[in-house]
Structure 1
Amino acid sequence: MKKLLLAVVILVTTIASAQKNSILLGGNVGFSSEKIGDSKLENFEFSPKAGYQFAEKWTAGVEGSIMNVKSTGTDKTEKYKIGGFVRYSTPLSQMFSFYTDLGVGYQNTSLNNAKGMYASLTPALFINMKNGFGLNFSIGGINYDNLDGKNDPRQQRLGFDFGKTLNIGVSKNFAL
């Protein structure tokens, strides 16, 4: 585990910053599986992102997420998110940039047809691998979401999960 973390840190230090008037395409893919006794829970998530870098350090765009959750003995649940984001980035070197994303949007889940909103603030590190293609690393952030279903009481969550998660994504900046 320590070797993997060291390799990730070395890899992150190789990213170059994006250029003004460029298009950003990126995203994350995630999978988790948990088994306790006879119960099994599986999550799969795909989260694409597209934006336009309108100033040297600022990017704005759209983000989405599709998640499938399967649990033993229950139906499959699907969750969708669509929203916008604003990114502020600061180059640290030719290879590395630090950035923070602020995302806000709408969410829907097939469980009780619940609908609501979400907001997230995520600091991260971008490593430029070559020609604007790079890896994104984050270790959590601040998240808020709410859902209101037909037969369920309104759900609200506020999360502060720095150090509890590790997210690795891929992105590419295309110069215009």
Structure 2
Amino acid sequence: MKLKSILLLILSYGIITSLFAQDQPITKNYLLGGSISFQIQKNSFPSSSIGIGPGFYSQNNDNLRYLTFSFSPQFGKQISEKWLVGILGNLSLSRYENNNSQGTTLDFDRNSIQYGGGIFGRYTINPENLFNFFIEPNIEYYLFSLTVKQNSVKTEEQKANFIKIRTQLGGLYRISPKFNLSAKIGGLDYVNWHWEIVGTKDSKNFSSFYSSFNLANLFFGFEWKF
């Protein structure tokens, strides 16, 4: 699946670039930017806040602590007034702690990391305005791992790889001809997974389609055009 996914990304980028290059006036504008999102939360662990990894659940407990961080760089080329194409990456980290769970002496930690990248296109609806909206479809491939510890002893490790097809909504505010502030809030996602528990025979291939429009998926960013 890994090789097929990478080849699909390369082929898709070539097709998209060729199609727009034939019909659209090409400019010399390039874009370098990205977005950051983080969340720090105590005493609850809502499943709606999780953007990475399978198998999470919701509960309330005074001893819970949750931290997530995500960084998504982008590099693109403006191929017309309204269209931009490029490549993107993502690194997402999360940590979940439940100390003295349910009144016992058990300390429970769960740490995950997700990394990968893909290609994207961006259609800007009103590029002539200082503040404008855009639609950003993309195809991405990721690797994911999760480690579970109880009283500092590793009890389980999960791994997964997946390909994601996503359409995001966002907005840009042009603060100068070269610099933009950006914001994105979730999207519509289709994900195809391969998941396994390391050291066991437990594995699964599955797919899902869902929307992720919530404040936990609000990303702010900064862009430089050159």
TM-score, normalising length: structure 2: 0.62
Q: CA deviation at 1:99?
A: 1.5
Contact residue 82 and residue 127 of structure 2 kept, 8 A: no
Output aligned runs, 1:1-176, within 5 Å.
20-36=27-43, 37-72=62-97, 73-111=108-146, 112-150=158-196, 151-162=202-213, 164=215, 165-174=217-226
Contact residue 81 and residue 127 of structure 2 kept, 8 A: no
CA distance in 2, matches of 1:109, 1:21: 36
CA distance in 2, matches of 1:35, 1:163: 19
Cα deviation per residue 1:3-57 (whole Å; 9 max; x = unaligned)?
Answer: xxxxxxxxxxxxxxxx932111111111112222212111011110111112222
Asked which structure has the greater CA Rg, the reply is: 2
Contact residue 121 and residue 141 of structure 1 kept, 8 A: yes
CA distance in 1, matches of 2:119, 2:127: 26
Q: CA deviation at 1:94?
A: 3.9
CA distance in 2, matches of 1:160, 1:75: 25
CA distance in 2, matches of 1:30, 1:139: 11
CA distance in 1, matches of 2:42, 2:129: 43
Contact residue 127 and residue 136 of structure 1 kept, 8 A: yes
- Change in Cα spacing, 1:90 to 1:20, as seen in structure 2 (3 Å) is farther
AA of the residue aligned to 2:75: A
- Structure 1, unmatched stretches of 5+, are 1-18
Contact residue 21 and residue 55 of structure 1 kept, 8 A: no
Q: CA deviation at 1:96?
A: 2.2
CA distance in 2, matches of 1:25, 1:118: 22
Aligned residue in 1 for 2:105: none
Q: CA deviation at 1:113?
A: 2.1
- Structure 2, unmatched stretches of 5+, are 1-25, 44-61, 98-107, 147-157, 197-201
Aligned residue in 1 for 2:22: none
Q: CA deviation at 1:152?
A: 3.8
Contact residue 34 and residue 72 of structure 2 kept, 8 A: yes
Q: Percent identity?
A: 25
Contact residue 58 and residue 88 of structure 1 kept, 8 A: yes
Which structure has more relative contact order (CA 8 Å, sep 6+)? It is 1
CA distance in 2, matches of 1:123, 1:38: 36
AA of the residue aligned to 2:221: G
More helix by share: 2
Q: CA deviation at 1:155?
A: 4.5
